Amino acid sequence: MTEEIIIAGFGGQGVLSMGKILAYSGIMEDKEVTWFPSYGPEMRGGTANVTVILSDTRISSPVLHEFDTAIILNQQSMDKFEKAVKPGGVLLYDPNGVIHPPTRKDIRIYKVEGTRAAVEMGNPKVFNMIVLGGYLKVKPVINLANVERGLQKSLPERHHKLIPLNLEAIRKGGEILEAN
Amino acid sequence: MEIQDIIKPENLVYSKSKLQVDVISHYCPGCSHGVVHKIVSEVIDELGIQEKTIGVSPVGCAVFAYNLIDIDWQEAAHGRAPAVATGIARTNPDKIVFTYQGDGDLASIGAAEILHACNRGENLVVIFINNGIYGMTGGQMAPTTLVGQVTSTTPMGRTVELNGYPLKITELIAQLPGVHYCTRQSVHTAATVRRCKNAIRKAFQNVMDKKGTSFVEVTSTCNSGWKMTPVQANDWMVEHMFTEYPQGELKDNDKKG
Amino acid sequence: MGELRLMKGNEVLAEAAVRCGCDGYFGYPITPQSEVMETLMELRPWETTGMVVLQAESEVASINMVYGAAATGKRAMTSSSSPGVSLMQEGISYIAGAELPCLIVNVQRGGPGLGTIQPSQADYFQTTKGGGHGDYRLITLAPASVQEMHDFVELAFDLAFKYRNPAMILTDGALGQMMEKVELADQKPRWTREEILARSGSWATTGKTPDRQRNVVTSLELDSEKMEQNNIRLQAKYQQIEENEVRYEEILCDDAEYLMVAFGTSSRVCQKALEVLREQGVKVGLLRPITLWPFPSKVIGEMARKVKGILVVEMSAGQMVEDVKLAVFDACCCVPVAYTGRMGGILPSPGEVVEAFEQKLLKR
């Protein structure tokens, strides 16, 4: 199994940390992982994206021109990465911030109303975990117990009290997932 | 009386420090370096720290200091001695580390390194030979060359318009809180040699006591570069250099409060 | 098995340095490698192993601090990125000339000049052909994964001390910023004074004791006859390193009809391109130099005799390709050697590499 994912949105949406939790969860499941971010000034408020690769075997390129899954959180990223999904692959997006929904017919497209659900949950910060939950519902590449262990490893001790909330957000994401 | 009757231990009035290596010095007759080397050798010997002392020699006339004083040495790139000494002292806090630098090395190409090492208060002795000229490369202008002073790159004398002012780096160094002791000495008379030795001994003692940077400028002559006899050079130094570079202590934290 | 973590390449350099018993790190901030010193400052190794970590006033100062610490027989290192490493060249030349062991890490970014903060491999020439003045060589290791960023720290120190020669880890912003699973080594103690004396007492500035002559660390020798002898001795050492320390990895080379040659991040991109080409039935292999100096010329020459074409992939205008061509030439072989790559901080994509391979070697 090799799963190549691009997560793209604005800086501040938790793009990089979503990728990090996914990657750490992969380690908990004994997978090889690579987390490759865009870095530099663009991170500060501009667009941010991260490539996450999970695999049972040695991982080759961190730089990819096509992906198994694209998780897209703003219009700029939609413009850039909709075309980079492999035929038959998955595109998952939050319609909040996406003006022109994806149009490809040769890929599987899913919607997660993460922004709205996060507000409903009373904590906009869990937005990225809701989206992650949607992704894990579509592609259960990692067992939820390992995601919890991944959270424990990637969050600093002082934030461990937030783990139950994050897990709830992940479950919520799975519930509100809609296929296009 | 035969000569053998005279050469007896009880008649000994002068000898080289046993840390001074028995080779012919490469310094010009009349140069201040030889005297300062002798003082450094004596101080290290008298403090009993030969086994703990590491010297960092500069680029300039003192580049070969390692041939003359019998301790472990490292030769630094031009101006970098304070950084090299920082690396030694930080990873070897049990050692007594000193740099020995000229004015081109310390005040020109190595201005950044000396300021920052002193500002960090590195536990070092810095011996700064200021003779206002580049001796080794053949007498070019140094940052401490006096206004009007003739050198091979200021053949009509240094002008402020072209070259700016003599850099009083020792005054600058004295301002830095990391510096524990800062003094300006010379070695042109027996009395000043004694005073200079006291200053250098104090500097080494400070480092043994881990008090931070101790900086000793020795205002010096370069009779070859200045194109004078040693005696003329001494007189010229007293008359001209001492006005720009006043002698004496600039800072001693031991005397505070 | 050591501790498993998800870490950035830059963070791992810091962890590995502490864990292998490094004595001192001296550095100056520059993107994309500032996490090395930041991580060290958070690890606070001076409280555990006694390792010194100091932010210098410049790269010029940091390499000279390394020069000072290394002269005392300690394991000292610095890290920087391309413009900072340019500033260090004077110090590196002195360290090589004085035959001191130390580690320098270059997390490369695109140049020339201030350039970009994005990854690049354009310092290959600077690293393997000199960089500073004089006839000297740097043992150069090129990691291709975060795990190798970890493993090569101790390896670089071992090689540096084995040959009394500076060693460099030549990596790039991609590997520095990338996180991967890494197995951390167990903590090793720093060398004791006795161990340092046993290993390096004959040359290091450990303080002159009555039982030996004074040790002088210098690269200066004004007598040209003696200086030539110093150079001859250095060259003999370099030849020994070339004979003993060449490291490389071969991927699917056994049945290869074509060969790709790439190091570091580029080699990862090539692995993907190779998968794509193999799926199309093209028998292509990948040779990844791990030591850039000494360069695996011999094995490349041997491979050249077996294949129909070679593609060198670099994040530069084509630097290592010159060494590949020399290796092919030395093997008296006339197989075509092509280059592809990107510059200015852009990584070639696997698709671009496949396309270049098809155009340049398959003439499609």
pLDDT tens digits for C310-351?
999 999 999 999 999 999 999 999 999 999 999 999 999 999
Are A39 and C177 an interchain contact pair (Cβ–Cβ within 8 Å)?
yes
> Using CA atoms, how far apart are residues B93 and C4, in angstroms rounded to an integer?
35
Q: What mean pLDDT do residues B140-154 have? A: 96
Residues of chain B in Cβ contact (below 8 Å) with chain C: 50-54, 56, 63, 66, 70-77, 80, 83-92, 95, 112-113, 116
3-class secondary-structure state, position C187: coil
- Record the pTM: 0.95
Orientation angle between helical segments C224-244 and C146-163, nearest 10 degrees: 140
What confidence category does residue A45 fall into, taking pLDDT thresholds of 50, 70 and 90? low
- Closest Cβ opposite residue C271 in set A35, A39, A61: A61
CA distance C327 to C287: 13
Neighbouring C-alpha atoms within 13 Å toward the C-beta of A73: 28
- Predicted confidence at residue A39, as pLDDT, reads 74
How many residue pairs bridge chain B and chain C with CB atoms within 8 Å of each other? 125
pLDDT tens track for B41-55 = 999 999 999 999 999
Q: Is the peptide bond before C101 cis (omega within 30 degrees of 0)?
A: no
The domain made up of C249-360 is a member of CATH 3.40.50.920: yes
The DSSP 8-state label assigned to residue C119 in this structure reads B
Burial of A153 (0-12, 13-18, 19+ CB in 10 A): middle
pLDDT of residue B257: 58
C67 touches chain B (CB under 8 A): yes
How far, in Å, CA of C126 to CA of C82, rounded?
10
Q: If we measure between CA atoms, which residue out of C343, C351, C345 comes closest to residue C269?
A: C351
- The 10s digit of each residue's pLDDT in C275-312 is 999 999 999 999 999 999 999 999 999 999 999 999 99
Q: Which amino acid is it at A43?
A: M
Q: How far apart are CA B175 and CA B219, in angstroms?
A: 19
Residue B151 phi, psi dihedral angles, 5° rounding: -135, 180
pLDDT band, very low/low/confident/very high, at B199 (cuts 50, 70, 90): very high
Is pLDDT of A44 > 70? no
Residues with Cβ within 8 Å of residue C174, at least 6 apart in sequence? A36, A62, A63, C119, C265, C347
Contact criterion met (CB below 8 Å) for B107 and B143: yes
pLDDT digits (tens, 9 = 90+) for C163-221: 999 999 999 999 999 999 999 999 999 999 999 999 999 999 999 999 999 999 999 99
C-alpha dihedral (B135, B138, B140, B144), degrees to nearest 10: 10
C-alpha dist (Å) from residue B207 to B84, B126, B135, B180, C237: 16, 10, 29, 10, 39
Cβ contact, residue pair B74, C216, below 8 Å: yes
Task: Provide the chain A residues 53-112 that lie in CB contact (below 8 A) with chain C.
Answer: 59-66
Query: What's the CA gap between A145 and A25, in Å, rounded?
Result: 9
Q: What are phi and psi of C136, to 5 degrees?
A: -145, 165
Residue C131 reports pLDDT greater than 80: yes
A34–C contact, CB cutoff 8 A? yes
Q: Measuring CA to CA, how many Å separate B198 from each of B54, B105, B202, B248, C271?
A: 20, 25, 6, 12, 69
Q: Please tell me the distance from the alpha carbon of residue B125 to that of residue C17, in angstroms, as a whole number.
A: 30
Find which of A5, A31, A39 to mutate to test the C interface (most C CBs within 10 Å of its CB).
A39
C-beta separation of A73 from A93 below 8 A: yes
CATH number of A2-179: 3.40.920.10
Contact C346, C317 (CB under 8 A): no
Amino acid at A95: P
- Give chain C positions within 8 Å (CB) of B20: none
Which chain C residues touch A if contact means CB-CB below 8 Å? 4-6, 31-32, 117-118, 173-174, 177-181, 265, 268-275, 347-352
CA distance A52 to chain C (A): 9
- Check CB contact under 8 Å for C54 and B91: no
Confidence category of residue A40, pLDDT binned at 50, 70, 90: low
pLDDT of residue A41: 57
- 3.40.50.970, 3.40.50.720, 3.40.50.800, 3.40.50.300: CATH of B26-255: 3.40.50.970
Residues of chain C in contact with residue B75, where contact means CB-CB under 8 angstroms, are 98, 216-220
Is residue A155 within 8 A of residue A135, CB to CB? The reply is: no
Interval A86-107 mean pLDDT: 96
Domain spanning C3-193: CATH superfamily: Thiamin diphosphate (ThDP)-binding fold, Pyr/PP domains (3.40.50.970)
Taking residue C75's Cβ as centre, other Cβ atoms within 10 Å add up to: 27
Count the Cβ atoms, other than its own, within 10 Å of residue C349: 18
DSSP string for chain B: --HHHH-SGGG------TTB-SS---SPTT-HHHHHHHHHHHHHHHHT-TTTEEEEE-SSGGGGGGGTBSSEEEEPPTT-HHHHHHHHHHH-TTSEEEEEEEHIIIIIITHHHHHHHHHTT-SEEEEEEE-SEETTTTSEE-TTPPTT--BTTBTT---HHHH-----HHHHHHH-TTEEEEEEEE-SSHHHHHHHHHHHHHHHHHHHTT--EEEEEEE---HHHHTS-HHHHHHHIIIIIHHHS--EEEEEGGG--
ipTM of the complex: 0.95
Mean pLDDT over residues A61-87, rounded?
A: 95
What confidence category does residue B114 fall into, taking pLDDT thresholds of 50, 70 and 90? very high
Say whether pLDDT at A42 is over 60.
no
Residues near C31 by Cβ (< 8 Å), separated by ≥ 6? A40, C81, C109, C117, C173
For A153-173, what is each residue's pLDDT tens digit?
A: 888 899 999 999 999 999 999
Chains A and B: 3 or more CB pairs within 8 Å of each other: no
pLDDT surpasses 90 at C363: no
What ranges do the domains of chain A cover?
Answer: 2-179
pLDDT digits (tens, 9 = 90+) for A2-22: 999 999 998 888 999 999 999
Mean pLDDT of C36-57: 98
Q: Which of B51, B63, B84 sits opposite C68 (nearest CB)?
A: B84
- Mean pLDDT score across all residues of chain A: 93
pLDDT at A128 > cutoff 70 = yes
Residue B255's Cβ-side half-sphere holds a number of Cα atoms within 13 Å equal to 7
Chain B residues with beta carbon closer than 8 angstroms to that of C25: none
SS3 label, residue A156: coil
What residues of C are in contact with residue B84 (Cβ under 8 Å)? 64-65, 67-68, 71
DSSP strands (E only) in chain A: 2-10, 32-37, 47-55, 67-72, 85-93, 108-111, 178-179
What subunits touch chain A, counting only 3 or more CB pairs under 8 A? Answer: C
